[in-house]
Amino acid sequence: MINLIKGFHDILPDQSLKWAFIVNKARNCLERFGFREIVTPIMEKTELFQRGIGRTTDIVEKEMYTFQDIGSDSLSLRPEATAGILRAVVEHSMLKREPVLKLFTIGPMFRRERPSKGRFRQFFQINAETMGDDSPLTDAETILASYTLLDDIGVGNFSLEINSVGCKNCRHLYRSALVKYLEPSLNSLCPDCQRRIETNPLRILDCKEPQCIAVSRDAPLITEFLDSSCRDHFEKVKLALTSIGVPFRLEPRLVRGLDYYTRTAFEFVHSQLGRTKALGGGGRYDSLISELGGPDVSGIGFGLGIERLAMNLPDDHADFLRNTDIFVAIIGAGPLNPGFELVSRLRRSGLSVEARYSGMSLKAQMKVADRLSAGWVVMIGDDELALGKATMRDMTTKRQFLVELDDIERVVRGEIF
Ligand code: AMP
């Protein structure tokens, strides 16, 4: 037997309705907020992610699936969606036609992380991006879109954490202060963070190693280093969120794993999963579009992980269960072809219909109908066939009666009997 690749997973049929439910809710919600769908390839030139996400992030440094294409560029499976979306936006000059552009995408991402519950090497994300509008109201609207989506899907027990990570100038000052604070404890940090102090010290605040958490506990906070325009922007975001009744908690240590964030950063934390396994998050990026060759406009976006959303929904919700309207039980060889024709006719009328054609006993067929949670069983044997009728059994009330073949749809729709 050849097994799955470590950290990859199958979405089996008993999960697929839940999966479809989440995706449908996402499409519906994001379209209501004015986002339109874009589908970009799952593979891009490695350089796009190096430039977009940042060479010193864990994602680019350690977690990308990268390979050299024959006689060509280095390619990588996408570890996140924003860089690919922005590449497409710039390549197709989309911002020229639509200076404020709102796009979403749903699809798989790939990161070579250590797999654990809720952490995979292939996982699915719902992503939305608004480009070309730097108003704090757009930050609030983006947060509201993701918050509404979680609500629409029915994920409970989550809270919203927000922070401002400032602009390049604020971060420059903060970085120096942070390094100055951390340097005396350099030897107490994990080997990764000892390296990060040179390359990307802000990420130390995000490290999950206990010794790093202890060292950085009293570190200076980015919010103390915001310049007046970043502070003003953040105040307006908070005011806007309050005005529309979106509850949030300020989390001044929230930095997020991608280098491109500026100003607003946010994350949705589930009470059971905790901060290390957030449901999703996002933030503003002020120079990413221009760094990728586009106009000098900013953007803001978010990503929600579908596996983590699915984990927090029950399996037995009515919307996630298979819905078979009718099981047609064909009794004996004589009614086989008429039964087959009946199944085809009922399906054409829009009902979901199942049947077995291998000559199973009625008892065995009733078991299948039960397993499929069929609402009705339509039995057709030689006696029924002779009368041009079928026996219908309501699987909820167990009531059973004879009907004309032509009346079956109307019975199922509750129009007669
Ligand atoms: P990020 O792109 O890192 O901001 O992640 C956004 C969201 O994607 C997270 O909050 C998770 O819900 C999901 N996510 C990120 N990495 C993984 C992973 N390795 N496995 C499952 N979900 C993930």
Show which of 311, 340, 366 is a domain's final residue. Answer: 311
pLDDT bucket at 148, cuts 50 / 70 / 90: very high
278 lines ligand 1 (CB under 6 A): yes
CATH code of 59's domain? 3.30.930.10
Over range 399-405, report the average pLDDT: 96
Would you state the pLDDT for residue 256? 74
**Average pLDDT in the chain:** 94
Nearest in space to 142 (alpha carbons), one of 39, 294, 276, 268: 268
CA of 192 to the centre of ligand 1 (A): 20
Beta bridge partners of 287: none
Total residue length of the chain = 417
316 and 373 in contact (C-beta within 8 Å)?
A: no
User: Is there a single domain that holds both residue 86 and residue 131?
Assistant: yes
Burial of 272 (0-12, 13-18, 19+ CB in 10 A): exposed
Let me know if residue 187 belongs to a domain: no
Would you state the pLDDT for residue 59? 85
User: Is there a single domain that holds both residue 302 and residue 346?
Assistant: no
Question: Which domain does 348 fall in, by range?
Answer: 322-412
For the question of whether the overall pTM of this predicted structure is more than 0.75, the answer is yes
113 lines ligand 1 (CB under 6 A): yes
Beta bridge partners of 128: 104, 302
Closest atom of ligand 1 to 80 CA is: 2
- Ligand 1: residue of 80, 119, 268, 272 to mutate (most ligand atoms within 8 A of CB) is 119
332 and 379 in contact (C-beta within 8 Å)?
A: no
User: Is there a single domain that holds both residue 293 and residue 379?
Assistant: no
User: Is there a single domain that holds both residue 257 and residue 370?
Assistant: no
CA of 307 to the centre of ligand 1 (A): 9
Overall number of domains in the chain: 2
Show which of 278, 311, 344 is a domain's final residue. Answer: 311
Would you state the pLDDT for residue 315? 87
Q: What is the pLDDT of residues 26-78, one digit of tens each?
A: 999 999 999 999 999 999 999 999 988 877 778 888 899 999 998 878 999 99
Looking at the predicted structure, is the pLDDT value of residue 158 above 90?
yes
User: Is there a single domain that holds both residue 40 and residue 82?
Assistant: yes
124 lines ligand 1 (CB under 6 A): no
Q: What is the pLDDT of residues 169-222, one digit of tens each?
A: 998 899 999 999 999 999 999 998 998 898 888 889 888 889 999 999 899 999
Lowest mean pLDDT among 32-46, 294-308, 310-324, 338-352: 310-324
Structure tokens, 92: 């197709």
Distance (Å, rounded) from C-alpha 355 to C-alpha 18?
A: 24
Over range 393-401, report the average pLDDT: 96
123 lines ligand 1 (CB under 6 A): yes
β-pair type (326-330, 376-380): parallel
User: Is there a single domain that holds both residue 272 and residue 380?
Assistant: no
CA of 78 to the centre of ligand 1 (A): 13
Show which of 311, 335, 356 is a domain's final residue. Answer: 311
> Which stretches of 121-226 are assigned E, i.e. beta strand?
122-131, 158-164
Q: Who contacts 343 (Cβ-Cβ below 8 Å, separation ≥6)?
A: 328, 353, 355
307 lines ligand 1 (CB under 6 A): yes
pLDDT bucket at 154, cuts 50 / 70 / 90: very high
Would you state the pLDDT for residue 37? 98
Q: What is the pLDDT of residues 109-143, one digit of tens each?
A: 999 999 999 999 999 999 999 999 999 999 999 99
Report DSSP letters for 26-82, one per residue. HHHHHHHTT-EE----SEEEHHHHHHHH-TTSHHHHHS--EEEPTTS-EEEE-S-SH
Would you state the pLDDT for residue 257? 64
Cα angle value 253/257/263 (rounded, 5°): 60
78 lines ligand 1 (CB under 6 A): no
User: Is there a single domain that holds both residue 103 and residue 243?
Assistant: yes
User: Is there a single domain that holds both residue 359 and residue 301?
Assistant: no
> Which stretches of 254-316 are assigned E, i.e. beta strand?
262-270, 280-285, 299-305
